[in-house]
Amino acid sequence: MAIRSSVQTKPVQFGKYNKERISSKTRRAIVAYAFLLPVIIYFSVFFFYPIALELWASLRNGLPLVGESQFVGLDNYQQIFQDKRVLHSFKVTLIYSVGSTIITAVIGLILALILNQKIRGRVIIRSIIFFPYMISVVIIALLWGNILDPYVGILNSFLYAIGLDGQYWLTDINAALPAVISLVVWQNMGYAMVIYLAGLQNIPEQYYEAARIDGASSLHLFRYITLPLLAPTTLFITVIGMIGNLQAIAPAYLITRGGPADATNLFAYHVFNVAFDELRIGYASALAFMMFAVIFVLTMIQFKIAGNQVEY
């Protein structure tokens, strides 16, 4: 049977007008866009439009979006570099993000390596470790806020019971941020473990067999086979982790309110306070755009550094 060319033109009477029949390629494109239209509308309304509005607000002082405001150009952006609190919160956020991301990835990898072995009960153990990831961050914040309470919390009560001194987890400016990082790692390590498990199970066993035949030790197998072939997984976990942690607000908002003495004043929390407590919506919008730029640059750097070493 002859296959008709997909490109055929034929004049068609359409009311008073003559139009060429729409090609099937164009028709397929129209159908594709028709299916994409709801998503395009959704993202336009709930993402791109608010972002455009926020960009407009970042160029204004007063109460843009809510009340009266005045155009001030780039004044809000200039103010960012002179604002000590912004620089401090950015530093806190960087420590929080890098610490949480790296520790989560390392612990997730270790757990995956262990639980990839044929151990009795490994499915249950994996589920238990993954469970915190499924819990709402609000519940985790309330739970750990109580556990870490230096005066009536379970952790210090346990330490006292075994003869040790309690620690000022949430009142010591040097302990508060590590405490917050710890609970975030606790929540997310199960997720990292699951992703790494998937990556491990995709590594062909033949590589290990061949290496063993050549006399490779376990350390050699890990260093020269496992780790390089897990590079795409590691890249994914660290990139997604960094993006999420740079935008984190929940620990500061729910547990410490940015304290003590701004020790856990994450950038997103600071932006939230500037917008809703201080009612400096224009300045807060500028801060949000700056953070977007920082996340973008850091992500590109991550891809550049780590991406070159990814093997597939």
- What residues line the site for other proteins (CB under 8 A)? 63, 65-68, 85, 141, 145, 149-152, 168, 170-173, 176, 253-264, 273, 276-280
Q: How far is the C-alpha of 207 from the C-alpha of 222, rounded, in Å?
A: 11
Nearer to other proteins, 61 or 299 (CB): 61
Smallest gap from residue 286 Cβ to other proteins (A): 15
* Whole-angstrom Cα Rg for the chain: 27
Q: Are strands 60-62 and 69-71 parallel, antiparallel or unpaired?
A: antiparallel
Smallest gap from residue 188 Cβ to other proteins (A): 21
Nearer to other proteins, 177 or 229 (CB): 177
Helix/strand/coil for 163? coil
Smallest gap from residue 19 Cβ to other proteins (A): 15
Q: How far is the C-alpha of 11 from the C-alpha of 16, rounded, in Å?
A: 12
Smallest gap from residue 79 Cβ to other proteins (A): 11
Q: Which long-range contacts (CB under 8 A, 24 or more apart) does 95-100 make?
A: 95/177, 96/177, 96/180, 96/181, 96/184, 96/245, 96/248, 96/264, 96/266, 97/241, 97/242, 97/245, 97/246, 97/248, 98/242, 99/178, 99/181, 100/181, 100/184, 100/185, 100/188, 100/241, 100/245
Q: Which of 266, 264, 274, 271 is nearest to 288 (CA)?
A: 271
Nearer to other proteins, 10 or 304 (CB): 10
Nearer to other proteins, 233 or 285 (CB): 285
Helix/strand/coil for 273? helix
Nearer to other proteins, 238 or 273 (CB): 273
Nearer to other proteins, 37 or 261 (CB): 261
Smallest gap from residue 174 Cβ to other proteins (A): 10
Smallest gap from residue 184 Cβ to other proteins (A): 16
